[in-house]
Amino acid sequence: MTWNSFIYFALPALLLWLGGAWTAWKKRPIPTYLFTVAGLLVYFAFILGMWFSLERPPLRTMGETRLWYAFFLPTAGLIIYSRWRYPWILAFSTLLAGVFTTINLVNPEIHNKTLMPALQSPWFAPHVIVYMFAYAMLGAAALMAAYLLWFKKSEIIEHELDICDNLVHVGWAFMTVGILFGALWAKEAWGHYWAWDPKETWAAATWFAYLAYIHVRLRADRYRRAALWGLIVSFVLLQMCWWGINYLPSAQGASVHTYNMG
Amino acid sequence: MFNKFWKMKEGFAFGAGLIVVGLALQFSVGPIHWSDFAFPLNGIFLFLFLCSLGLVYVLRHKVRFFGFFHRVEAAVPILLYAAALTVAMGLTRQVPAHERAVDPIGLTQMLSFWPFVLVYLTLAAIVGLIVLRQAFHFRWRELPSMLCHVGLFVAIVSATLGSADMERVKLKATTDMPEWRATHEQGFVELPLAIQLKKFTIDEYPPKLLLVNNKTGKTIPEKNPEVVLIDKHFKEGRLMHWRIRVRENLPLSAPVVTKDTIKYVGWGTSGAVTALLVEAQPMDGDKEVGKPIVGWVTCGSYMFPFQELKLNNQLSLVMARREPERYASQIEVFTKSQEHIVATVEVNKPVKVDGWMIYQLSYDESMGRWSESSTFELVKDPWLPAVYVGVYLLLAGAILIFIVAQKRR
């Protein structure tokens, strides 16, 4: 399996997800589940094929992590849908998955098979996959916040803030698991669980920022707009952590996490 | 200002006060020297810290200032200060722990910067107080949150206090004799154990061929060069309009100079190179154009120079430097208790001897796969079990938060 065959998996998967989004909008849960799961299976078949042909998990380059991101967005969408039945969530996740898939179709960044010894660990896949899932949830929360802050004309209702809270709780939980998996792995690979590497530093800042949101929301009746702004700012910090440090002068040569360039 | 309940505003004011106090300390007594904080000083501090948390907790209804630390209005501003200082740390290039900050304020040595440490300390204190409250007023509903608080508190306190007790040294072992002298930032140390390298091995990824410009030496295309990987499945590959085939593949070989050419023959000792006899056929679509160019290509070793195949005036075919897939050191460890251990250390697979974790760090890269030395990092961290308890509690808390994430009304 190579990137050349990506389109034959990506397009059917996107069409199935679109079908799921449509039936979710029409409030018909059973076809929604069927379509979305079928799309996920098709997409995952490609990821598995890549995994086998590369002889390593496709998690190293930005193009490869986008693949997982595009896979986890509808997964996250389906989980949220099954829990809270938001009719719009699958349309939204399909749209974002479509964006990441298109980037990969236009610019697949074909890479070689090699994987440096430090990345050859059973921790590698869970560490990155859990993170991708967290990014997907927190991305959804940021978009919801943007909608509530800038586009919604009428007053914000409790229910809409609950959506943000639920997304952040799930996203934060996954982010925490991702950080801790990283710490346990770092102890095995680099001798210390936390070395204030630029990636770790930005992860800590992001983690605190989301914690501030979670705690300010304990005073549910107050600071609403400030909390939503907090989600936007936190998501910007998350971008720094994800890819921003690759371009940050202070991290150049100082981070052991900058192997995913290009 | 401080009537009835303290609000968020007072929380921010308190945090700002911490920063001011921290700056005053920074300029009066200088940055924090964590290395002075080794046992028993850190143990004494831990005892005092826990006692004062207990006191603040007990007096929380009597002293309004103490009560405030149990409130969201104290937690949120401190979290935001912590996030902001951590962002400042991420934006500045940090200097190693034993060096002095390169800016006048001390931001480039954030871990020794008083405001940063005071804010983190207050954060840990607040988390500790919430742990006490959640423990003494236990509710099942709060279990996920409590696990997170306990885990974070245990992990952050033991990691911070334990940092001065952690020993991290580098040791370069050779095949000649056991080595017990290691280096760290301050110089040499003698270890209670000695390591001798028995054997060093590298598995390399299959060779890669690519094109370079003869004049500039740059790869084609410059940033993301096209490569062909000569692995066991390889039959033929394409680089621009050249069809690449391999006629002979010698994993270990040495050059032999004949009258007018250089050829390669199998040779299995130190300094051997991988040599490929390559056929490069210029193509126009699927049609062969002209005659193929045939010749040896190697990436060289510490003993032999590399060998390229010149295709025309502009282009040459070269082999990229081999990338290690796995490297491992077979070592013998001798301890003071007369123990004698043979083990294999590789990246991601450290070995534990007498409380020391031994990590594969590097090798003599100029010798590559024929390296006769191997460098290890040895780490001893007596506080690690406590940190792990915290990490696993926090992990459990986070997983529970995911499971029960549902807004209750």
Closest-CA residue of A relative to B94 is: A250
pLDDT at position A246: 83
Chain B hits for A120, CB-CB cut-off 8 Å, are: 325-326, 347-348
DSSP-derived 3-state class of residue B294? strand
Q: Taking the CB of residue A205, how many other CB atoms lie within 10 A of it?
A: 24
Q: Which sign does the torsion angle of CA B47, B48, B51, B53 carry? A: negative
Burial A42-66 (b: 16+ CB within 10 A, else e): bbbebbebbbeebebbbbbbbbbbb
Higher-confidence position of A246 and B172? B172
Across the interface, of A117, A189, A209, the residue whose CB is closest to B325 is: A117
Closest CA to A70 of A38, A104, A37: A104
Q: Cβ contact (<8 Å) for B391 and A180?
A: yes
Window 332-351 of B, Cβ < 8 Å to A: 346-350
Closest CA to A170 of A82, A61, A249, A102: A82
Query: Which site among B116, B156, B402, B404 would you substitute to test the A interface, given the most A Cβ atoms closer than 10 Å to its Cβ?
Result: B402
Distance CA B274, CA B266 (A): 9
- H or E element, residue B390: helix B384-404
Q: What is the DSSP string of B42-110?
A: HHHHHHHHHHHHHHHHHTTTT-HHHHHTTSHHHHHHHHHHHHHHHHHHHHSPPPPTTSPPSSSSSGGGG
DSSP-derived 3-state class of residue B282? strand
Q: What is the DSSP string of B160-219?
A: HHHGGG-EEEEEEEESSS-EEEEEETTEEEEEEEEEEEEEEEEEEPPPEEEEEETTT--B
Burial B336-364 (b: 16+ CB within 10 A, else e): eeeeeeebebbbbbbbebeebbbbbbebb
pLDDT at position B357: 95
Distance CA B332, CA B334 (A): 7
Distance CA B390, CA B160 (A): 13
Chain B hits for A113, CB-CB cut-off 8 Å, are: 205, 229, 231
Q: Does residue A107 register a pLDDT over 80?
A: no
Distance from CA of B262 to the nearest CA of A (A): 30
B255: left (phi over 0), alpha (psi -120 to 50) or beta: beta
Asked if residue B352 lies in contact with residue B358, where contact means CB atoms within 8 angstroms, the answer is: yes
Q: Is B399 on the interface with A (CB under 8 A)?
A: yes
Q: Does residue A251 register a pLDDT over 90?
A: no
DSSP-derived 3-state class of residue B237? strand
Could you tell me the two tokens for A241?
């952590």
Chain B hits for A247, CB-CB cut-off 8 Å, are: none
Q: Cβ contact (<8 Å) for A172 and B401?
A: yes
Q: What is the DSSP string of A99-157?
A: HHHHHHHH------S---GGG-STTHHHHHHHHHHHHHHHHHHHHHHHIIIII--S---
Across the interface, of A173, A194, A208, the residue whose CB is closest to B402 is: A173
Q: Is B204 on the interface with A (CB under 8 A)?
A: no
pLDDT at position A158: 87
pLDDT at position A262: 31
Chain A hits for B325, CB-CB cut-off 8 Å, are: 114-115, 117, 120
CB–CB contacts below 8 A, A to B: 140
Q: Does residue A260 register a pLDDT over 70?
A: no
Q: Cβ contact (<8 Å) for A254 and B399?
A: no
Q: Cβ contact (<8 Å) for B76 and A215?
A: yes
Chain B hits for A162, CB-CB cut-off 8 Å, are: 407
- Reported as half-sphere exposure (CB side, CA atoms, 13 A), residue A69 has a value of 24
Distance from CA of A29 to the nearest CA of B (A): 20
Chain A hits for B83, CB-CB cut-off 8 Å, are: 205-206, 208-209, 212, 237
Chain A hits for B327, CB-CB cut-off 8 Å, are: 117
Q: Is B386 on the interface with A (CB under 8 A)?
A: no
Distance CA B337, CA B340 (A): 9
Distance CA A6, CA B398 (A): 35
Window 284-343 of B, Cβ < 8 Å to A: 323-327
Asked if residue A127 lies in contact with residue A178, where contact means CB atoms within 8 angstroms, the answer is: yes
pLDDT at position B330: 95
Distance CA A248, CA B297 (A): 39
pLDDT at position A258: 59
Q: Does residue A64 register a pLDDT over 70?
A: yes
Pairing state of beta strands B293-298 and B309-310? unpaired
Query: Which site among A62, A112, A174 would you substitute to test the B interface, given the most B Cβ atoms closer than 10 Å to its Cβ?
Result: A112
Closest-CA residue of A relative to B85 is: A205
Q: Model confidence over A23-55: pLDDT tens digits? A: 999 999 999 999 999 999 999 999 999 999 888
Chain A hits for B384, CB-CB cut-off 8 Å, are: 187
Q: Cβ contact (<8 Å) for B8 and A117?
A: no
Q: Taking the CB of residue A109, how many other CB atoms lie within 10 A of it?
A: 14
Cα–Cα distances (Å) from B194 to A156, B5, B19, B355, B361, in that order, read: 67, 62, 47, 14, 17
DSSP-derived 3-state class of residue A86? coil
Distance CA A42, CA A101 (A): 13
DSSP-derived 3-state class of residue B253? strand
pLDDT < 50 regions, chain B: 1-3, 409
- The CA-based dihedral angle spanning residues A160, A166, A169, A173, taken in that order and rounded to the nearest 10 degrees: -140
pLDDT at position B407: 54
Distance CA B334, CA B46 (A): 36
Cβ neighbours for A206, distance < 8 A, ≥ 6 positions apart: A175, A234, A237, A238, A240, A241, B83
Q: Is B82 on the interface with A (CB under 8 A)?
A: yes
Distance CA B106, CA B346 (A): 38
Burial A136-165 (b: 16+ CB within 10 A, else e): bbbbbbbbbbebbeeeeeeeeeeebbbbbb
Q: Does residue A190 register a pLDDT over 80?
A: yes
Q: Cβ contact (<8 Å) for B86 and A205?
A: yes
Closest CA to B307 of B294, B315, B298: B298
Closest CA to B327 of B349, B355, B301, B347: B347
Q: Residue A134 is which amino acid?
A: A
Q: What is the share, in percent, of chain A residues with pLDDT greater than 70? A: 94
pLDDT at position B150: 98
Q: Residue B190 is which amino acid?
A: E
DSSP-derived 3-state class of residue B148? helix
Across the interface, of B82, B357, B398, the residue whose CB is closest to A191 is: B357
pLDDT at position A113: 56
Across the interface, of A205, A208, A219, the residue whose CB is closest to B72 is: A219
Q: Cβ contact (<8 Å) for A212 and B79?
A: yes
Q: Which sign does the torsion angle of CA B264, B269, B270, B273 carry? A: positive
Closest-CA residue of B relative to A253 is: B93
Chain A hits for B86, CB-CB cut-off 8 Å, are: 201-202, 204-205, 208
Burial B237-252 (b: 16+ CB within 10 A, else e): bebeebbbebeebbee
- Reported as half-sphere exposure (CB side, CA atoms, 13 A), residue A90 has a value of 34
Asked if residue B126 lies in contact with residue B69, where contact means CB atoms within 8 angstroms, the answer is: yes
pLDDT at position B5: 64
Chain B hits for A196, CB-CB cut-off 8 Å, are: 89, 94, 110-111
Distance from CA of A57 to the nearest CA of B (A): 15
List beta partners, residue B263: B256
